Copies of this chain bind each other. A is one copy, B any other.
Amino acid sequence: MVTIGDVAQAAGVSRSTVSYALSGKRTISAEVRKKVEEAVRDLGYTPNAGARALATSQTRVLGLLARFLPDEFAPAMLQYILGVTERARELGYDTLLVSEEDGVGALTRISDSRMVDGFVLLNVAEHDSRLGALRRAKQPGALIGLPGETDGVDVFDLDFVATGQLMVDRLHALGHREVVLVSQPQHVVERGGAYVWRLANAAQERARELGVTLHNYSGSSSQPAIGADLNAFLDAHPSATGLLLNNEAAAAALPSVLQSRGLRSPDDISVIGRYSDDFARTFSLPFSSVDSAADVLGRRAVQQLVARIEGGDADAPFTVELIPPVIDDRGSIAPPPARH
């Protein structure tokens, strides 16, 4: 293994000079710099990360704490994860991915052993048990998902209140007056998926203001249950002309449900979902949807986290950034069918 000592010897200078030549933290004569660079190249020297971390108290690694609820839509998580790892690399950091069931234990262990410089928490719940551990940690943290209490952390999320409002506004403007909303399973809500009721409440309230009847249901997260659910909801409200989906599995199941009922979108029923464009394309989902902005959220969280790590000012003002919803139009929204 080639160390900084080998480089120093080959270049005929001291180890500290090699270190400074590499970091640029003090002025080095052109001649010495050249000799060091040659030696580094010839020997193929790369600094030892552990030794550097020990000396500087910086690991240049970020901890990414994922969290998978039993009934939630796991594959969607990958888009957040990739946004995080990509932006981290652009900023010179690597990413330690932690998927343990026991997020509190994992966060504490990794924080105490000084394995990372900061944390990104995914899928943050209303009352997220990981937040206590994060506040106790010496490393800063950025959240994806809006908890009830946001002090001491930077928070990034889709604006689910605006999303619920937007969905209802759009259908109302086209003339719809009765709408069904299919949310995530009850399980998800109970485990802290506040975004579910945040969207649902905002939609409900806006519907009331506009004189729209909105029926809110939780749907299952997998087949065949979700197919049966959708049929039951549609049976219960034959006069509804709009369908809002805050549930990816429902979106995936809906095409075959509509077909079996002889319904077409948007002629018979208008549909708005909430998932990413990537998802729509890959899974052949033909419905207009509010983009979940997973990639953007992952990148923004890392950006802010690194700024805080490197900014020196650990208590600089904290931010709560809610991304405004945007509907990707795939042609599943139209005026309701004429009454016979």
Which residues of A does B touch, CB under 8 Å?
Answer: 1, 44, 46-51, 53-54, 59, 61, 64, 68, 73-78, 81-82, 85-86, 89, 94-100, 109-110, 112-115, 138, 221-223, 226-227, 248-249, 252-253, 255-256, 259, 278-286
Q: Return chain B residues, CB-CB under 8 Å to A53.
A: 50
Beyond the given pairs A61-B96, A74-B78, A74-B82, 16 more chain A to chain B contacts, judged by CB atoms under 8 angstroms and listed by A's residue number, are: A48-B113, A50-B50, A50-B59, A50-B114, A51-B54, A75-B279, A81-B81, A95-B97, A223-B286, A226-B284, A227-B284, A248-B282, A249-B282, A252-B283, A252-B284, A253-B284
Q: Is the CB of B99 within 8 A of A96?
A: no
Q: List 16 A-B contacts (CB under 8 A).
A: A1-B114, A1-B138, A48-B114, A50-B59, A54-B54, A74-B82, A78-B81, A86-B99, A94-B98, A94-B110, A223-B281, A223-B282, A223-B285, A249-B283, A253-B284, A256-B286
Q: Which of B47, B73, B85 contacts A97 (CB 8 A)?
A: B85
How far, in angstroms, from A284 to B61 measured CA to CA in the complex? 38
How far, in angstroms, from A49 to B49 measured CA to CA in the complex? 11
Q: Return chain B residues, CB-CB under 8 Å to A61.
A: 96, 115
Q: Which of B75, B89, B248, B281 contacts A100 (CB 8 A)?
A: B89
Q: Is the CB of B282 within 8 A of A222?
A: yes
Q: Is the CB of B115 within 8 A of A49?
A: yes
Q: Return chain B residues, CB-CB under 8 Å to A96.
A: 61, 94-97
For the complex formed, measure the closest distance between the CB of A62 and the CB atoms of chain B, giving whole angstroms.
10
Determine how many copies of this chain the complex contains: 2
How far, in angstroms, from A82 to B67 measured CA to CA in the complex? 11
- Given A54-B54, A74-B78, A96-B61, check contact A113 B49 (CB 8 Å): yes
How far, in angstroms, from A73 to B73 measured CA to CA in the complex? 16
How far, in angstroms, from A226 to B283 measured CA to CA in the complex? 10
Q: Return chain B residues, CB-CB under 8 Å to A252.
A: 252, 282-284
How far, in angstroms, from A279 to B75 measured CA to CA in the complex? 9
Q: Is the CB of B49 within 8 A of A114?
A: yes
A49's closest neighbor in chain B, by CB? B113
Interface hub of A76, A113, A256 (most chain B Cβ within 10 A): A113
- Given A255-B256, A256-B255, A256-B259, check contact A97 B81 (CB 8 Å): yes
How far, in angstroms, from A253 to B226 measured CA to CA in the complex? 18
Q: Return chain B residues, CB-CB under 8 Å to A59.
A: 50
How far, in angstroms, from A81 to B77 measured CA to CA in the complex? 12
For the complex formed, measure the closest distance between the CB of A115 and the CB atoms of chain B, giving whole angstroms.
5
Q: Return chain B residues, CB-CB under 8 Å to A54.
A: 48, 50-51, 54
A278's closest neighbor in chain B, by CB? B74
Interface hub of A50, A64, A110 (most chain B Cβ within 10 A): A50
Q: Is the CB of B46 within 8 A of A109?
A: yes
Q: Return chain B residues, CB-CB under 8 Å to A248.
A: 282
For the complex formed, measure the closest distance between the CB of A57 and the CB atoms of chain B, giving whole angstroms.
9
How far, in angstroms, from A112 to B327 measured CA to CA in the complex? 46
How far, in angstroms, from A281 to B285 measured CA to CA in the complex? 16
For the complex formed, measure the closest distance between the CB of A44 and the CB atoms of chain B, giving whole angstroms.
7
How far, in angstroms, from A156 to B221 measured CA to CA in the complex? 31
Q: Which of B49, B98, B227 contacts A85 (CB 8 A)?
A: B98
